[in-house]
Chain A
Amino acid sequence: MSKTLAFEEPIVKLREKINELEEYTAVNDVDLSSEIVNLKNRLAKLETDIYESMEPWDRVQVARHPERPTTMDYINRLFEDFIEFHGDRNFGDDEAIIGGIASFEETPITIIGHQRGKDTKENVKRNFGMPHPEGYRKALRLMKQAEKFNRPIICFIDTKGAYPGKAAEERGQSEAIARNLVEMAGLKVPVISIVIGEGGSGGALALGVANHIHMLENSTYSVISPEGAASILWKDPSLAKQAAEAMKITAPDLKEMNIIDEIIPEVLGGAHRDANKQSLEIRSTLRSSLQTLCKLTSDELIDNRYTKFRNIGVFSE
């Protein structure tokens, strides 16, 4: 049983009640089947009601669910012949970002993504999916490699942000992110970025200067975490729920602001309920994205990226 989120509690309670009744009828000689059917109908309705009217803060909880599928989960389900490549050739190998080559429905592609862990041990190894500069430099190395061999690039975004640490600053966290933004702008191959969990600020954007940007329905993409926003704007991190609404960080918000291309629907209750089913949704979006972008020439791809980011901004003349 996966971790219950606060907004899901009514569903869990009702489900427990049904289970109780079922157990009761199994041992006692009473027929409660019509009641059970009634309750099951109510449960289905309740689930739809709750999951279809999720508040931004609810989505934040789903995006942060410890069992939410990670980059590796999707790589295993979407691609064949994946080979992981390591290292930035300068300093080290940052396990908070993984990358490599594989094939997607017969097309060779390069995959790069933030990689969280699902338990404490793995999270320590992966630094909770918060990269150091060498992670971004590895990503850039693999992108340049993809460009050389004319492979499309697929990025999975899933990070709270680039790691804020002493060593990261010493080795140029700012420069590593900044360099990726500029270099991605000029890539001659299709770039598709998919936000699968949290898209935290510059650390997310460093894998996000893409031709197409898609977001899973319950993922977020923001300049700062709701907690951070609340403490900067209202000096009170406990107002994170309000900040999550005010900052407009959900997939529907970003779609409305014309920043992303498509919202990839999630399985009811969130991607962690069924990673296989979720992968099918991603697969179909990825396929149509690639079909569209592979028709473009290098110059068209670069122009397309230019126009896409050039037009973001709200102001008056």
Chain B
Amino acid sequence: MSIKELFKKKPKVDQHTMPSAKSKADVPEGIMTKCPECKHVILTKDLLKNDKVCPSCQHHYKMTAQERIDHLFDDNSFESMDDHLKTENPLDFPSYTEKVEADAKATGLNEAVLTGVGKIQGSQVAVAVMDAHFRMGSMGSVVGEKITRAVEKATELGIPMMIFSASGGARMQEGVISLMQMAKVSVALERHANKGLLYISIMTYPTTGGVSASFASVGDINLAEPKALIGFAGRRVIEQTVREKLPEDFQTAEFLLNHGQLDAVVHRNEMPEVMSKILKLHAQKGAVLV
């Protein structure tokens, strides 16, 4: 090293300790969990026991697809489908494949939806559970294909279909192919409906864009979890377009309920019971009273 270099101004090195990505994640980590809404601190195992709902403010934490299945379905009754489907990179977007692979590794899912057939308190039902931890739950070819196959399975078996939506909308990296998945699931749902079969849509945080504007909104029964964000266009886009302040509860489940867009908002603790009731009421058709 020359003498000159010794006196050169060195770039400042940032010495702050940054919180790790792990500690920032909203999934419960460690022994205690702090509610992002009311800051209530709770033992993580108690939070899980309460279906990931804050006992203080009733904030519904995001659930993984597997947690949702465990929460609703009878033990060992759920059999998953199409876990082998693999996402391709149809538009050759740089680093798309890597991103999908990283999320697959992190979530243990092949894509942003888990599908299959199982039983809720004895009633058989086909289900698709979207997982917002995987690419924001966005819908590409595999998500569209898995949901379509699940709907087709329900049609074939003559059983109800349930879709738990949790999605930011279309998968940008798959372009117009992603858009067309909206139509693909819709044509399958139309066949299912045509057989007189029941479809229940449950919207969870978040259900927006192309998912909201297709299968999520056309259930025979549309339900949502409390405070779930549900909407077609993003809040910021709307604010820029209309140049007016939007109400605090805009695009929440409660807002949709007030505007006639939902059948009911169902607390997660009550979801298994509500589902079971609905399924039982649809198991038998026509009146039996004489």
> Which residues of chain A have a CB within 8 Å of any CB of chain B?
162-166, 168-175, 177-179, 181-183, 185-186, 201-202, 205, 208-209, 221-224, 229, 232-233, 246-249, 254, 257, 259, 305-306, 309-310, 312-317
Contact status A314-B90, CB under 8 Å = yes
Q: How far is the CB of B182 from chain A (nearest CB, A)?
A: 6
Contact residue among B174, B181, B193, B232 (Cβ-Cβ distance under 8 Å from A168): B232
Q: For residue B66, which residues in chain A have a CB less than 8 angstroms away from its CB?
A: none
Contact status B190-A186, CB under 8 Å = yes
Contact residue among B176, B181, B213 (Cβ-Cβ distance under 8 Å from A177): B213
Contact status A182-B186, CB under 8 Å = yes
The 8 residue pairs across chains A and B that have the minimum distance between CB atoms = A164-B233, A313-B141, A181-B186, A185-B190, A178-B217, A314-B90, A174-B212, A185-B187
Q: How far is the CA of A51 from the CA of B183 in the complex (A)?
A: 33
Contact status A315-B216, CB under 8 Å = no
Contact status B86-A317, CB under 8 Å = yes
Q: For residue B142, which residues in chain A have a CB less than 8 angstroms away from its CB?
A: 313, 315
Contact status A223-B178, CB under 8 Å = yes
Specify the chain B residue showing the minimal Cβ separation from A179. B218
- With A314-B88, A314-B177 as given contacts, are A233 and B172 in contact (CB-CB < 8 Å)? yes
Q: For residue A202, which residues in chain B have a CB less than 8 angstroms away from its CB?
A: 179, 182, 209-210, 213-214, 232
Q: For residue A222, which residues in chain B have a CB less than 8 angstroms away from its CB?
A: 175-176, 179
Contact status A312-B184, CB under 8 Å = yes
Specify the chain A residue showing the minimal Cβ separation from B203. A174
Q: How far is the CA of A13 from the CA of B277 in the complex (A)?
A: 74
Q: How far is the CA of A177 from the CA of B216 in the complex (A)?
A: 11
Contact status A223-B216, CB under 8 Å = no
Q: For residue B191, which residues in chain A have a CB less than 8 angstroms away from its CB?
A: 185, 306
Contact status B186-A209, CB under 8 Å = yes
Specify the chain B residue showing the minimal Cβ separation from A305. B187
Q: Quick check: is B251 within 8 A (CB to CB) of the other chain?
A: yes
Within 8 A of A (CB), among B202-239: 209-210, 212-218, 230-234, 237-238
Q: Quick check: is B76 within 8 A (CB to CB) of the other chain?
A: no
Q: How far is the CB of B237 from chain A (nearest CB, A)?
A: 5
Contact status A247-B187, CB under 8 Å = no
Contact status B190-A314, CB under 8 Å = no
In the complex, besides A181-B183, A182-B190, A316-B85, 14 extra interface pairs with C-beta distance below 8 angstroms are: A162-B233, A173-B233, A177-B214, A178-B182, A186-B190, A208-B183, A223-B178, A247-B176, A306-B187, A306-B188, A309-B187, A310-B188, A313-B144, A315-B86
How many residues belonging to B are interface residues under a CB distance threshold of 8 Å? 60
Q: Quick check: is B130 within 8 A (CB to CB) of the other chain?
A: no
Q: For residue A224, which residues in chain B have a CB less than 8 angstroms away from its CB?
A: 170, 172
Q: For residue B241, which residues in chain A have a CB less than 8 angstroms away from its CB?
A: 163-165
- With A164-B238, A223-B210 as given contacts, are A257 and B176 in contact (CB-CB < 8 Å)? yes
Q: Quick check: is B194 within 8 A (CB to CB) of the other chain?
A: yes
Contact status B244-A223, CB under 8 Å = no
Q: How far is the CA of A232 from the CA of B216 in the complex (A)?
A: 23
Contact status B233-A310, CB under 8 Å = no
Q: Quick check: is B91 within 8 A (CB to CB) of the other chain?
A: yes
Q: For residue A310, which residues in chain B have a CB less than 8 angstroms away from its CB?
A: 148, 184, 187-188
- With A166-B242, A316-B86 as given contacts, are A177 and B183 in contact (CB-CB < 8 Å)? no
- With A205-B179, A246-B93 as given contacts, are A186 and B194 in contact (CB-CB < 8 Å)? yes
Contact status B237-A164, CB under 8 Å = yes
Q: Quick check: is B257 within 8 A (CB to CB) of the other chain?
A: no
Q: How far is the CB of B225 from chain A (nearest CB, A)?
A: 17
The 0/1 profile, CB within 8 Å of A marked 1, for residues 232-258 of chain B is 111001100110101000110000000
Specify the chain B residue showing the minimal Cβ separation from A221. B176
Contact status B176-A165, CB under 8 Å = no
Q: Quick check: is B259 within 8 A (CB to CB) of the other chain?
A: yes
Contact status A259-B176, CB under 8 Å = yes
Q: How far is the CA of A221 from the CA of B176 in the complex (A)?
A: 7
Contact status B172-A169, CB under 8 Å = no
Q: For residue A233, which residues in chain B have a CB less than 8 angstroms away from its CB?
A: 93, 172-173
Q: How far is the CA of A165 from the CA of B244 in the complex (A)?
A: 10
Q: For residue A182, which residues in chain B have a CB less than 8 angstroms away from its CB?
A: 186-187, 189-190, 193, 218
Q: For residue B188, which residues in chain A have a CB less than 8 angstroms away from its CB?
A: 306, 310
- With A181-B186, A309-B184 as given contacts, are A175 and B176 in contact (CB-CB < 8 Å)? no
Q: Quick check: is B56 within 8 A (CB to CB) of the other chain?
A: no
Q: For residue A316, which residues in chain B have a CB less than 8 angstroms away from its CB?
A: 85-86, 88
Q: How far is the CB of B122 from chain A (nearest CB, A)?
A: 30
Q: Quick check: is B74 within 8 A (CB to CB) of the other chain?
A: no
Specify the chain A residue showing the minimal Cβ separation from B170. A223
Q: For residue B242, which residues in chain A have a CB less than 8 angstroms away from its CB?
A: 165-166
Q: How far is the CA of A312 from the CA of B90 in the complex (A)?
A: 12
- Between B90, B176, B187, B213, the greatest number of chain A beta carbons within 10 A of the residue's beta carbon is seen for B176
Q: For residue B238, which residues in chain A have a CB less than 8 angstroms away from its CB?
A: 164-166, 169
